[in-house]
Amino acid sequence: MTAQTADGSNSILVTGGAGFIGSNFVLRYVADGGRVTVLDLLTYAGNRENLAELEGNPRFRFVQGDICDANLVSALVREVRPQAIVHFAAESHVDRSIVDPGAFIHTNVQGTFTLLEQAKTYWSQLGDVERGNFRFLHVSTDEVYGSLKPEDPAFSELTPYAPNSPYAASKAGSDHLVRAYFHTYGLPTLTTNCSNNYGPFQFPEKLIPLVLLNALDGKPLPVYGDGKNVRDWLYVGDHCSAICRVLESGQPGETYNIGGNSERANLDVVETICSLLDEMKPDSSIGDRRKLIQFVPDRPGHDRRYAIDASRIKRELDWQPKVTFEEGLRRTVKWYLEHMQWVDHVRTGAYRDWIRQNYEERVAQ
């Protein structure tokens, strides 16, 4: 970001910064010279190990806490005095939302409401320059638009909302609240609706890391339904660059769709991962990894196709994805192969002990 606070610190508050996309964003933002305070509850999806390289960096601070805790959020924004709040924190997995929708309503709707309220109070008390520079950037998803038929045009910013899963409905609710805070109170909000991300640090419950790690071990690769559901895949680094661009130059009150121009059927994605692993990590005891594919009963209410029309952000903010799906997937496979300790910590749950091992024991020495 170019704009700075009065003390020149260009300090931002990032919620959910220990999750998949949030941690990629924070690593990049700090590397670019920014100052970040992360607020993250460290649910099962939050992993402080993702941010390990920033420990000790004076431009980075981590606060463990809940975005639903109004007192905590209020105290933190008054202390940090951020020029922007970038809001990633959410329950993010569709399958979990089918089993336990309440957690999604709590964090995604109530949590976003709490943040908006505290942001509004803080922002309304700023001086003119800081109030003009302040931004609340809400990171959302293309799933709010529902499901496309094969011949339908891709989702644009004008596509009506039609969420189908509890996850999508909770994100749609949060998007509407963000919109209302701009229209009613003038809070300078920005909303991004992005397609499916993949890349380093993704928790292995989502399709790509789940299949990658199962295939590595010769375990079954579960494909829901007929495997022909289509997603538009975007490399996480490209998503982060888009968020930076929107933060810098987006029009308050507006929404921007972000996508990878990479529609792929799930079965194609799974087969490509198999081919990459057969090439990069051949295992004679496993052989051709495509044999591991197993069709399993479909997800209830499974959206058939997502596709993003990202022409607005290209036209108005000169952003477009740089990494092709083939290149991004190769990078991702390489990253997981080179970070098996991270994988082991996630699988065994040891990542939750990492804070104690790395910090509490360090302090005790």
- Per-residue exposure over 309-340, b if at least 16 CB sit within 10 Å of its own CB, e if not: bbebbeeebebbbebebeebbbebbebbeeee
The residue among 235, 231, 245, 169 whose CA lies nearest residue 202 is: 235
- Please report how close the Cβ of residue 360 comes to ligand NAD at its closest, in angstroms: 19
The residue among 199, 276, 191, 273 whose CA lies nearest residue 234 is: 199
Contact 251, 319 (CB under 8 A): no
Q: How many residues bind ligand NAD (CB under 6 A)?
A: 30
Long-range contacts of 338-342 (CB under 8 A, 24+ apart): 339/200, 342/49, 342/201
- What span, in angstroms and rounded, lies between the C-alpha atoms of 233 and 102? 28
Known catalytic membership, residue 327: no
Known catalytic membership, residue 157: no
The partner in contact with residue 207, picked from ligand TYD, ligand NAD, none with C-beta cut-offs of 5 to 8 angstroms by kind, is ligand TYD
CA 317 to chain CA centroid, Å, is 21
Site string for ligand NAD, 167-206 (x = CB under 6 A): ----x----------------------x-xx-----x---
Contact 247, 83 (CB under 8 A): no
The partner in contact with residue 203, picked from ligand NAD, ligand TYD, none with C-beta cut-offs of 5 to 8 angstroms by kind, is ligand NAD
CA angle 190, 192, 197 (to 5 degrees): 150
Q: Which amino acid is at 120?
A: K
| Residue 266 found at the interface with ligand TYD (CB under 6 A) | yes
The stretch among 122-130, 135-143, 280-288, 341-349 that binds ligand NAD (CB under 6 A) is 135-143
- Please report how close the Cβ of residue 25 comes to ligand TYD at its closest, in angstroms: 18
The stretch among 22-30, 144-152, 223-231, 318-326 that binds ligand TYD (CB under 6 A) is 223-231
The residue among 59, 77, 193 whose CA lies nearest residue 125 is: 77
The partner in contact with residue 286, picked from ligand NAD, ligand TYD, none with C-beta cut-offs of 5 to 8 angstroms by kind, is none
Q: How far is the CA of 322 from the CAs of 32, 209, 319, in angstroms? A: 18, 21, 9
The residue from 18, 68, 84, 94 that contacts ligand TYD (CB under 6 A) is: 94
| Residue 74 found at the interface with ligand NAD (CB under 6 A) | no
Catalytic residue among 29, 122, 145, 167: 167
| Residue 207 found at the interface with ligand TYD (CB under 6 A) | yes
Catalytic residue among 66, 143, 238, 309: 143
- Please report how close the Cβ of residue 299 comes to ligand TYD at its closest, in angstroms: 6
Residue linked to tokens 């963000």: 178
| Residue 89 found at the interface with ligand NAD (CB under 6 A) | yes
The residue from 73, 90, 215, 292 that contacts ligand NAD (CB under 6 A) is: 90
Can you give the binding site for ligand NAD, defined by CB under 6 A? 15-16, 18-22, 40-43, 45-46, 66-68, 88-90, 92, 107, 111, 139-141, 171, 194, 196-197, 203
Which residues are tagged catalytic?
142-143, 167
